[in-house]
Amino acid sequence: MASEIRLVPSSGHVRHGSNIGQPLTRRDGILKVTGAARYAADNSPAGLLYAVLAVSSIARGRVTFLDVPAAKRHPSVVEVMTPAHKPPLAQDPDAKTNPFMFRLDLLQSDQVRYAHQPIAVVIAETLEAATEGAALLAPHYETLPARVGLDDGESFVPPAVGVGSPAVEAHGRVEPALARASRRIEATYETPAQYHNPMEPHAIVAVWEGDTLSIDTPSQGLIMARDRIAGLFGIAPAKIHIRSPFLGGGFGSKGLISGPQILGIMAARLVGRPVKLVLRREQMYGPVGHRAPTRQTLRLGLDGAGKLTAIDHHVKTASSSFDDFFEPAAGVSHTLYASPAIATSYDAVRLDTGTPLFMRAPGEAPGSIALESAIDEAAAACGMDPLAFRLKNYTETEPMSGKPFSSKALRECYAQGAERFGWSRRPRAPRQMRDERGFLVGWGLGTATFPALMFEAEARAVLRSDGSGAMEIGAHDMGQGAWTALAQIAADGLGLELERVEFRSGTSDLPDGGIAGGSAHTATAGMAIHNAGAAVIAKLAALAMGDERSPLFGAGNAGVVARGGRLFRRDDEERSESYADILVRAGLGEIDARGKGATDPAAQSAYAMHAHGAVFAEVKIDPDLCQMRVTRVVGAFAAGRIINPQLVRSQLLGGMVWGVSFALQEQAVIDARSGRTLNANLAEYHVPVNADVPSLEALTVEEHDPHVNALGIKGVGEIGITGSAAAVANAVWHATGIRVRRFPIRIEDLMIAD
């Protein structure tokens, strides 16, 4: 079985001084490119059996028949788990005791609530046998009509959106402001259902030894997963050990433990042997979350000078028939533009789908493409350049709350991005530019924003008598480079060169690293690591300053500085001592300390905390065939202190690619008759390839934020998406003069007569 990640670099020496800010390559890069990194499904303990899900081919109804005898007659099938034959659970999988607990499908009944819902699990000696056994079940159904679209159900106002945010919020009086406006813009924008599609599907290898459970599974939240499993099976969390050193992408889908993963644990308990369960690609379209469709209506009021007087943002979205998660798409209108009156509201329908959940930039991704398209429409109505219009309506305080921003370098983002892109050469009117082939050329802009979040975490720091150190935290790396960035913070916190620090992470027996979500992981785990380092240095300093034999004796008032494996007196750096000498003289092999990271409630209440950016896009469109190509994207982003510029650039580019995908390619196509996703595969669920994004550039704008946390970290995982999709959509309008309000933009949307 895989163990936690232990990374001690053998190369990539860092200069003396701060490790933070260095563009280091990934510490786990060689492991990944050589195939040595072991993902969950790579583990095969002795006695392993294979489990395969049988999933529903209908979206609504119930299972009336499963041919279990036929499946069990297969010579290599060991067991078939069904609603009538499964291990007992200690907790109802439909129970909800906190906002981050969602209902799971664990064979609790014969009811079918969405297509691809698990209806049985076949366990066999080989993967092939389990797959054949699942086919032999040949289910029969009693079918009800599927509800699949935003107009297929009865609308209602949801009790909350996102995680506990109000469904109706207002600042100022929108209706009178709209009535008095010199100009009014009203437009409706539609975004489709989207699915996460990480390269690594959800998988689990589960081994029971009595009431002790060992698991290999990808997780963005180890401790949350452990506690959810403990509740379902009625065992102590300490009896569960989860290993998740590497994730092949998550994008939010692995933030919470999913039903199929729990079914793998149940299967292992049923047969008393290790079990591996890996979802097929099409099975990812249902039980592990997705982004819900939205229909967003924006109403903007403007005065004669082009200043906003009102913003009304209404969202219609959907959740499943059995649970509540409503995409908080209107939240982006709370923060970006100065307006004396802002209102946001929602209504929703229940559909026969799996429950939509957190997907990269939940709320902001669909919300920003609608808001930023409407802002562009307003700029055009006022005869203003889109950038000039945004600067005209720039706000120094968060409009909805009235709070000042903890920091905001959006003006600098606009300026640097525009200069790099060449925005000043953009003609104001659409359809004015062509390239040498006669293709229409358009330039578009989108503003990016994402909240600077932070959760709670804990880390353990160790200093050893050989002069080395270690940092332990149950954190997560889903490809964003966390092992590298967090190790850089650890090295600085311990006052050691990076190659002298052992970094341990990726298992549930280590201190709780919080959740890798909301672009908050570096701040969350990083602050815990920073504080653990400070705590262990304080213990070491106390040993030295209290020992008459130490050159640091009596330095308590002046204090000490930790650097390069030594403590230096602040008032006299000629007087110093190595960590090793302090510990050896004290007769200690090592000392340790723990540190916690959490938000500062006072700062949270006093300031609005966001990262910002500006994205500029160029598209070229064949005027005869209406084929669209994004040829250039330049983004400029301000996200507080940058721990590792190379990793940050990678994250920003990835977000911008996702924005291109959102605007032009990505959608789940649902069959209105059956409720099934017709393109539940990577061949037909289109995402960009290299040819789709030939030129991407990400600029980082310097920004110091003393309020978000002691390290000044915001987050970059999701902000690249917000703004990028709208920049592409606005560029399509600038190229063609056609405003498309349904995404992704299709060729047929542009096929109208000149």
Handedness of CA 708, 713, 718, 722 (dihedral sign): positive
Residue type, 409: A
For residue 113 the two structure tokens come to 């609530």
Alpha-carbon distance values, 419 to 215, 372, 379, 416 (Å) = 51, 20, 20, 5
Alpha-carbon distance values, 574 to 155, 456, 539, 544, 553 (Å) = 73, 39, 21, 15, 14
Q: Are strands 560-563 and 566-569 parallel, antiparallel or unpaired?
A: antiparallel
DSSP 429: S
CA gap 107, 259 in Å, rounded:
10
718 is catalytic: yes
> Which of 391, 463, 477, 365 has its CA nearest to residue 729?
365
The answer to whether 189 touches 370, Cβ cutoff 8 Å, is yes
CA gap 263, 82 in Å, rounded:
11
CA gap 485, 495 in Å, rounded:
15
Residues 6 or more apart from 429 whose CB is under 8 A from it? none
**Number of neighbouring beta carbons within 10 Å of residue 731:** 30
Residue 315 CA to its chain's centroid (Å): 22
Alpha-carbon distance values, 346 to 113, 153, 358, 375, 398 (Å) = 24, 15, 18, 20, 21
CA gap 239, 212 in Å, rounded:
5
- The one catalytic residue in 4, 472, 718, 748 is 718
CA gap 488, 494 in Å, rounded:
10
DSSP 293: P
**Number of neighbouring beta carbons within 10 Å of residue 461:** 29
Secondary structure element (H or E) that encloses residue 635, with its range: strand 628-638
DSSP 541: H
DSSP string, 385-401: -HHHHHHHT--SB-TTT
CA gap 536, 583 in Å, rounded:
12
Angle, CA 333 vertex, CA 331 and CA 339 arms, to 5°: 140
DSSP-derived 3-state class of residue 592: strand
- How many Cα atoms within 13 Å fall on the side-chain side of residue 553? 5
**Number of neighbouring beta carbons within 10 Å of residue 128:** 12
Alpha-carbon distance values, 273 to 22, 277, 348, 606 (Å) = 47, 13, 44, 54
- C-alpha Rg value of the chain to the nearest Å: 27
Handedness of CA 389, 392, 396, 401 (dihedral sign): negative
CA gap 427, 729 in Å, rounded:
17
Instruction: Show the 3-state SS of 643-689.
Output: CCHHHHHHHHHHHHHHHHHHHHCCCCCECCCCCCECCCCCCCCCCCC
DSSP 205: E
Residue type, 177: A
> Which of 297, 232, 240 has its CA nearest to residue 259?
232
Residue type, 285: Y
Catalytic residues: 718
